[in-house]
Amino acid sequence: MTGPKLVSILRQGDWLIASIHTALDDSQMLLFRNDLVEQIGRHRSRGVVIDVAALDVLDSFGANTLRTIAEMARLRGAETVIVGIQPDVAFAMVSLGMDTGDVPTALDLEEGLAYLGRPTGARSRGRRDAAG
């Protein structure tokens, strides 16, 4: 990809921090998905935080892609948490009849990392409320 980066994926120990920096179209969303899933495998990551704060909308395709990423990550042994869903985006998702399924969400990056780092014994379904 040329120009300013649309997404970035940083490795931090056992975790990957994936940030979406701008509105993505469907093809870009799929590239992001493939790239992220590939890196999870390569780094044998145990957890992934996806920061979607810069996304302008999360429509049916966007929400579905996030669910797919989480499912693929789970099959490779990594847990996914989505952070930064803006209040207006969350409201539109609810109105649209979409949600992030079983994928846990957290308010921001810090909370997302805290969620991944919680004591293993305490793992439950996780928070499913969209931020805001």
Partner 1 sequence: MGATDFIGAREDPSAPDVAALIPMVRRVIGARVADPTTAEDLVQETLVRVLTAAPRVEPGMLEPYAIVTARNVVTSLWRQQDRDRRNQHRVVDLSPPDAPDDDMLAREEQEAVAAALARLTDRERDTLVAHEVSGQDTRSLAEELGSTAGAVAAQLNRTRARLRVEYLLVRENVEPPTDRCRPVLLALSGGDRRRQREVDAGRHLLECEVCARLSPPLMERTQSRDDELRIPIAVDADVVAARQAARELASRLGFARTELTLIATAVSEVTRNIVRFAGAGEVVVELLDQPRAGVRITARDTGPGIPDVQAALADGYSTYNGLGLGLPGARRLMDEFAVVSESGRGTTVTMTKWCDAR
What's the length of the chain?
132
**CA 17, chain centre distance (Å):** 9
CB of 57 to partner 1, least distance (A): 5
**Which residues contact residue 85 at a Cβ distance below 8 angstroms, ignoring those fewer than 6 apart?**
52, 53, 58, 93, 100, 105, 130, 131, 132
Q: Could you list the residues that contact partner 1 (CB under 8 A)?
A: 23-28, 56-61, 64, 86-89, 91-93, 95-98
For partner 1, the closer CB: 59 or 108: 59
- Taking the C-alpha atoms of residue 46 and residue 65, their distance in angstroms, rounded to an integer, is 20
Min separation Cβ 87 and partner 1, Å = 7
Nearer to partner 1, 8 or 60 (CB): 60
Q: In the complex with partner 1, which residue's Cβ is closer, 32 or 115?
A: 32
